[in-house]
Amino acid sequence: MKKITSVVLLFSLIALTMVGCSGGTSGNKEIAFADAGWDSIKFHNAVAGIIAEEIYGYSWREVPGSTTVLHEGLLKGEIDVHMEVWTDNLATYGDDLAEGKLKELSINFDDNYQGVYVPRYVIEGDTERGIKPLAPDLKYVWDLKDYPEVFPDDENEGMGRMYGAIPGWEVDEILHKKYLHYGLDDNFIYFRPGSDAALATAITSAYDKGEPIAAYYWEPTWLLGMYDMVLLEDEPFDEETYTEGETELPAVKVTVATSNDFAEDNPEILEFLSNYKTSSQLTSEALAHMQETGDDYIETAKWFLRENEELLDEWLESEDAETMKNYLNK
């Protein structure tokens, strides 16, 4: 008896599920965004996703993966739109673009700084928090040499610690060369933090305590949007020698790209995506807002668009921009 009941129950559940499914998806257009895992790409996905949903009637989802996997997905058409292609990190991007395997729609941002940062209070002090300026003359990367005792490494007496990049990132090698190039190895340890999370925690923790720290970081990130950090200056950028660590690091061109199939079938939304342009600064601000309030990506995207309404005018036809503004201020 019990068995029969459970079988009946199971079948009715299956039947209900089918009813539920058939109601939803039919006839809808869907965008598959690339989700490379970091905050800013998820944020841009949400911004573009909301607009695609409200103006063009798309539904959207995110496909997670690593940078290279997502790039392959874009070439094969399994990913429709990639909101943040870090072109320098993809060895094959230039060739693939030249061969027409994908379409580059716009430059999302190209003002993203990276390099060795220290909290502003280390240089200027912070009277409110009662922090004295410990390294008032720190301006250039090589000035660190004068302040090993300000950034002590607690595993090696008398040495300073400079937090490098994540092991395996190309910039990690460049930074290490820079560290040697400026002779910081005399009294500094080049400390590899091991992971993105560990590096962020080290900086957060030092900042909370008002302690000095010298660490590699990059924009756009919530961390640099939220904390007042100063990028240590370096020799002006030179394409020939920056990989040897002799000049400052370049800004990476971060583009919005789409697969050929999607570009062919969806000319309308392509226009919007081709106009899509933000900046590293704006992205960092939004991510910092998200970190502070604990909102999700969608809420943050809405907040961001409300704060920066002029972007809508740039991206969309004036009519659609009005619709979007009305929706956001609802």
Partner 1 sequence: MNTDWLYDFPFKIPIDLGAIDDAVRGFSTKYDSFFNVIRSALNGFVNSIYNILDFIPWFVLILLVFIAGWKLSKKISTGILYGASLFLIGAVGLWDLMNETLSIVIASVIISLLLGFPLGILISTSDRADRIVRPILDTMQTMPVFVYLIPALLFFGLGKPPAVIATTIYAIVPIIRLTNHGIRQIDREVIEASLAFGSTKLQSLVKVQIPQALPTIMAGVNQTLMMAIGMVVTTSMIGATGLGMEVLIGVNRVEIGRGLVSGTAVVIIAVILDRITQGFVQRSEVRSDGK
**Quick check: helix, strand or coil at residue 226?**
helix
Q: Which is nearer to partner 1, 7 or 198 (CB)?
A: 198
Mark residue 190 as left, alpha or beta (left: phi above 0; alpha: psi -120 to 50; beta: remaining).
beta
CB of 39 to partner 1, least distance (A): 16
CB of 225 to partner 1, least distance (A): 17
Q: Which is nearer to partner 1, 128 or 319 (CB)?
A: 128
Q: Which is nearer to partner 1, 48 or 229 (CB)?
A: 229
d(CA 224, CA 301): 18
CB of 306 to partner 1, least distance (A): 22
Q: Which is nearer to partner 1, 75 or 200 (CB)?
A: 200
Q: What sign results for the dihedral spanned by CA atoms 166, 172, 176, 178?
A: negative
CB of 12 to partner 1, least distance (A): 11
d(CA 190, CA 116): 12
Non-local CB neighbours of 244 within 8 Å, separated by 6+ positions: 174, 177, 181
Non-local CB neighbours of 9 within 8 Å, separated by 6+ positions: none
| Site residues for partner 1 per CB under 8 A | 13, 16-17, 19-20, 23, 154-155, 163, 166-169, 191-195, 197-198, 201-202, 204-205, 208-209, 294
Q: Which is nearer to partner 1, 5 or 22 (CB)?
A: 22
Q: Which is nearer to partner 1, 133 or 152 (CB)?
A: 152
CB of 22 to partner 1, least distance (A): 10
Show the tokens assigned to 289.
């807002």
Residue 238's φ and ψ, nearest 5 degrees, are: -140, 125
CB of 194 to partner 1, least distance (A): 4
Amino acid identity of residue 68, one-letter, is T
Residues 322, 327, 328, 329, Cα dihedral to 10° = 90
